[in-house]
Amino acid sequence: MVAPMPRFRIRGVLPKDHDDLVRVAKHLNSVNLPEDVEAVRGIIDHSVQSFLGKVASKRAEYVFALEDLQTGHVVGTSMVIGQLGRRDAPYIYFDVRSEEKYSSTLDKHFHHTVLRIGYSYDGPTEIGGIVLLPEYRLGTERLGQFLSYVRFLFIATNRDRFRDEVLAELLPPLEPDGTSHLWEALGRHFTGLSYMEADKLSKKNKEFIKGLFPEGDVYASVLRAEAQKVIGEVGPQTKGVEKLLERIGFRYCERVDPFDGGPHFLANTDDITLVQDSARVPLVELWPGDPPPCDKPRHRAVVATLVKEPPFWRSVMVPFEQQGEGLVITERAAEAIGAKLGDEVMFLPIHTPKPKGHRA
C-alpha cells in the first residue's frame, strides 16, 4: 500500500500566493500581515529576497505559507523577522515598572504602574504572529502548532542569520472592532491618528512615535480604567500562544507595545527548548507505505528541507522513527519536501527527545 501524501505543507511564500494571503489577512489585519493588496505584494517580495540571501540578515523577513495540498490554496502564515530595531527603524516599547507612594501625613499608600518609552537600535529577532483561517483551527492536524514550530526549526538550523534573543509580541484584549483602549487613552492624544492608522504607518516609519510621544514617565493611574486593565494583559485570542511560549522558555519582560499595551515575551535564543531540540539528520530509511504498527502511538515531527530556489523551504509534520543517528519517514513525506534517501533534513520532534544527530 502506498502511503497518502501529507495533506499540509509549509513552504516559503511565493508571488502566486498573493490573493490567498490577502484572504488570510482579513482574519487578523495585523501590522505584519495587513489587509492591503499592495502591502501584501511588498511583504511577499521582501520574503523572497530574504530567502534568496539578497537582504541583509538584520533586514530579512521570512514568511512561511501553510499550503492545503488538496486545494492548492494557502490557508495560514507565520513569520520570522531577522532583527527588530535598527538605526532607521528602532524597536520601540514601553517599559512597565511599579512605583509605591506613601504619605505619613495622610496615612495613605498608593501603588502606581508607570510607563516609560524606550528605544533599541540593536534589538532581538522577532517571531511574527500566526494567522490561520478559522475553518482550519479545530482539526486534529494541529496546524497552529505546525506554523509555530516551523519558525523555531528555521531559526535553529540557520542560527547565524538571527540574534541572541527572540521576541514575541502578544495581542492584548481589543474591542470587536479592533479598538485599543490604551491607544484611545494615550496615543491618539499625542499623534491625532487612529490606532489602525498609527499601526500601519509604524510599519514603514516610526519617526512620529519618537517625535510626538512623551519622553518622561506616564502614570497609568491617570488613564481610564479600561486602558489600565489592558497593559501587559494577554487577549483571549493569544492565551494559547502565551502558554506555549512559557513552556518553551519565554518570559514576560515587563515591556509592552506602545500602541495597544500588548505584552512582550523574550527568550535567549539558545535557551529555547524548540531550538535546542532541532537538529540536522540523514534520512536512513523510507517507508513505502504507512508507518508499520508499533506498541505506542507514533510521535510526529516537523521535517524540512531548505534550497536556494523557490519555494526555498518545504516542511511537513509527520510520523517518524529514529534509527541510530538517522530518521525514518514515509516516501510520500520525503517527496513532499523534495528529499530522498540519504539526504540530510532538518528535524524537530513534537513532544519527544531530539535525535542523536549533530546540533543544527
In a domain, 206, yes or no: yes
Q: Is 234 found in the same domain as 206?
A: yes
Q: Name the least confident of 25-29, 223-227, 250-254.
A: 25-29
**Alpha carbons 233 and 236: distance in angstroms, whole number:** 10
Is residue 351's pLDDT more than 60?
A: yes
By the 10 Å C-beta count (0-12 exposed, 13-18 middle, 19+ buried), 78 is classed as: buried
Question: How far is C-alpha 191 from the chain's CA centre?
Answer: 28
Of the CA atoms within 13 Å of residue 110, those in its CB half-sphere come to 10
Tracing cell 524597536 back to the chain, one arrives at: 91
pLDDT at 310: 95
Q: Is 289 found in the same domain as 267?
A: no
Which of these, 158, 137, 159, lies nearest to 148 by C-alpha position? Answer: 137
**Number of domains making up the chain:** 2
**Alpha carbons 257 and 171: distance in angstroms, whole number:** 9
pLDDT band at 359 (very low <50, low <70, confident <90, very high): low
Tracing cell 507565520 back to the chain, one arrives at: 78
Is residue 353's pLDDT more than 50?
A: no
In a domain, 238, yes or no: yes
pLDDT band at 356 (very low <50, low <70, confident <90, very high): low
Q: pTM surpassing 0.95?
A: no
| Inter-residue contact 242 to 236 (CB < 8 Å) | no
In a domain, 331, yes or no: yes
Q: What is the share, in percent, of the chain residues with pLDDT greater than 90?
A: 70
Q: Is 240 found in the same domain as 229?
A: yes
Mean per-residue pLDDT for 307-325? 95
Angle at the Cα of 310 from the Cα atoms of 308 and 313, rounded to 5 degrees: 75
Q: Is 294 found in the same domain as 209?
A: no
Taking only the tens place, the pLDDT of each residue in 26-39 is 877 676 778 788 98
| Inter-residue contact 316 to 337 (CB < 8 Å) | yes
User: Treating both helix axes as pointing N-terminal to C-terminal, what angle do 37-51 and 18-25 enclose, rounded to 10 degrees?
Assistant: 120
In a domain, 74, yes or no: no
Mean per-residue pLDDT for 299-317? 96
In a domain, 77, yes or no: no
Q: Is 190 found in the same domain as 97?
A: yes
Is residue 198's pLDDT more than 70?
A: yes
Q: Is 305 found in the same domain as 289?
A: yes
Is residue 21's pLDDT more than 90?
A: yes
Other CB atoms within a 10 A radius of the CB of residue 311 amount to: 20
**Alpha carbons 154 and 278: distance in angstroms, whole number:** 9
Q: Is 191 found in the same domain as 259?
A: yes
Q: Is 245 found in the same domain as 280?
A: no
Q: Is 244 found in the same domain as 293?
A: no
In a domain, 71, yes or no: no
Q: Is 207 found in the same domain as 267?
A: yes
Choose the final residue of a domain: 225, 248, 272.
272
Mean per-residue pLDDT for 331-340? 96
pLDDT band at 4 (very low <50, low <70, confident <90, very high): confident
In a domain, 311, yes or no: yes
- With a CB cutoff of 8 Å and minimum separation 6, the contacts of 350 are 145, 149, 299, 300, 301, 302, 317
* CATH number of the structural domain spanning residue 321: 2.40.40.20
In a domain, 215, yes or no: yes
Domain range enclosing 226: 85-122+165-272
Mean per-residue pLDDT for 59-80? 96
